[in-house]
Amino acid sequence: MRKISRLNRLDGFQKLLTLLLIAISVFMLLPLVYIFNHSLKPYHELFVYPPNFFVREPSFQNFVELFLVAKSSAVPITRYLFNSVVISGLAVVLVTMVSALCAYPISKHQFPGHKIVFSTIILTLMFAPEAVQMPRYLVVSHLGIMNTYFGHILPLLAMPVGVFLMKQFIDQLPGELIEAAKIDGAGEWLIFTRIVMPVIMPAVATVAILTFQHSWGNVETSAYFMQDDEMKNFPYFLSTLTNNLANSVARQGAAAAAAVVMFVPNLLVFLFFQSKVIETMAHSGIK
């Protein structure tokens, strides 16, 4: 009854706008519906023309095929999954900490040259990933961290977008609050962990989502820095499903099922942090 009364309070334009937003939301859900339907299509539906949006004869055969392909692999699929979980988890924690520790002094300490440092960080957004691939390889090689988890994580630590988002949040933190904490005897680490971090949690959640999406679907570190198959991640294994085959039909069912396996963790992470992401977009200052 309460929902009905709220709808009755809307004028004609607000009702029209609500219907428009509902239609846009349904339209945005179509890719999600398609990817799940596509994974359940048998082979005769995968290649039908014109293609069907909804599956007509749903089957789990594609997932069975994916399991059989993984079973015949020299390295167990659980090893690839374990590597991806460890890499993504460590990357999320380290990237958020590095971004916050970088943004805090640039925003509040304003050391000599802090504007140049921040401008340089933003400038790195202009570089295409291919332009820095060779320097990354040289760094990882000279540090001797090939075939290690840190070899996966180190290239992901520098995240200019994360530094930018966190700096924008920390800029809105009153300087008087930090000065009062210093007068009360709080050190820099205590100020950072007890005052700054709780304020920027929406930005931390956003950076965590972006980092997880990038690290979970990242294939480059496995392809370029890992020679040992046991150190490669799950996305790399899935990328090899249809490689070096004699035709473009074989294993397409397994590839469709693999797309769902890759997508579901991203969806769950986003749903878990979505309230913080919305708060990041709507954040207008400290009340």
User: Tens place of pLDDT for every residue, the chain, 287 residues?
Assistant: 455 556 667 777 787 888 898 899 888 888 888 888 888 888 778 877 787 888 888 888 888 888 877 777 777 888 888 999 999 999 999 999 999 999 999 888 878 888 898 888 888 888 877 788 888 888 888 988 888 899 899 888 888 888 988 888 888 888 888 888 888 888 888 888 888 888 888 888 888 888 998 899 888 888 888 888 889 888 888 877 766 554 566 677 778 888 888 888 888 888 877 766 666 555 544 44
Domains, the chain: 2-65 (no CATH), 76-240 (1.10.3720.10)
Q: What is the pLDDT of residue 234?
A: 87
Q: Is the dihedral of CA 250, 254, 257, 262 positive or negative?
A: negative
pTM for the model: 0.79
The count of other CB atoms within 10 Å of the CB of residue 80 is 23
Smallest CA-to-CA distance from 263 within 110, 2, 37 is with 37
Instruction: Using alpha carbons, list the distances in angstroms from residue 51 to 45, 62, 249.
Output: 8, 17, 15
Q: What is the pLDDT of residue 96?
A: 92
Smallest CA-to-CA distance from 94 within 154, 145, 163, 42 is with 154
Q: What is the pLDDT of residue 7?
A: 60
Token look-up 């990041």 returns 280
Smallest CA-to-CA distance from 234 within 90, 91, 86, 61 is with 86
User: Distance between CA 155 and CA 80 in Å, rounded?
Assistant: 19
DSSP per-residue string spanning 175-230: HHHHHHHHHTT--HHHHIIIIIHHHTHHHHHHHHHHHHHHHHT--HHHHHH--SGG
